[in-house]
Amino acid sequence: MNNNTPLCRNCKRIIPPNANFCPYCGISNPLSNNKFRSIFKGFGGTIENLYDQLISKLDSYIPMLSVKIQQVLRQLEDKIIHTSTPNFVNKNKVLAVLREIRGNLKSNYSKEAENEARLYSSYVEQTISGDRCIICLKTFDTKDGKKISVYACPNCHYAGHRDHFMAWLEEKKICPLCRAEISQKDLIKGYIIEKDSKLILVS
| pLDDT > 70: percent of the chain | 75
pLDDT in 10s for each residue of the chain, 203 residues:
555 667 777 777 777 777 666 767 666 666 654 444 444 444 455 545 555 555 455 455 455 557 788 888 999 999 999 999 999 999 999 999 999 998 888 888 888 888 899 999 999 999 999 999 999 999 999 998 999 999 999 999 999 999 999 999 999 999 999 999 999 999 999 999 999 999 999 98
In a domain, 9, yes or no: no
pLDDT 10s digits, 102-160: 888 888 888 888 889 999 999 999 999 999 999 999 999 999 899 999 999 999 999 99
Q: Domain check: are 198 and 147 in the same one? A: yes
Please report, for residues 42, 67, 149, 190, 191, the alpha-carbon distance to residue 203 in angstroms, rounded to integers and kept in the order given. Answer: 75, 43, 10, 4, 6
H helix or E strand, kind and range, residue 162: helix 162-171
CATH number at residue 160: 3.30.40.10
Decide: 201 and 88 in contact? Cβ < 8 Å: yes
Decide: 125 and 79 in contact? Cβ < 8 Å: yes
Q: Domain check: are 105 and 150 in the same one? A: no
Neighbours of 190 (CB within 10 A): 20
- DSSP letter at 198 equals E
In a domain, 92, yes or no: yes
In a domain, 28, yes or no: no
In a domain, 42, yes or no: no
Q: Domain check: are 122 and 172 in the same one? A: no
Q: How many domains does the chain have?
A: 2
In a domain, 1, yes or no: no
Who contacts 195 (Cβ-Cβ below 8 Å, separation ≥6)? none
Q: Domain check: are 193 and 164 in the same one? A: yes
- Where does residue 92 fall: left (phi above 0), alpha (psi -120 to 50 degrees), or beta otherwise? alpha
Q: Domain check: are 148 and 197 in the same one? A: yes
Integer-rounded Cα radius of gyration of the chain: 24
In a domain, 185, yes or no: yes
CA atoms of 19 and 121, how far apart (whole Å): 29
In a domain, 151, yes or no: yes
In a domain, 150, yes or no: yes
Q: Domain check: are 150 and 104 in the same one? A: no
Q: Domain check: are 111 and 149 in the same one? A: no
Indicate the SS3 state at residue 100: helix
User: Residue 159 belongs to what domain range?
Assistant: 143-202
Q: Domain check: are 115 and 151 in the same one? A: no
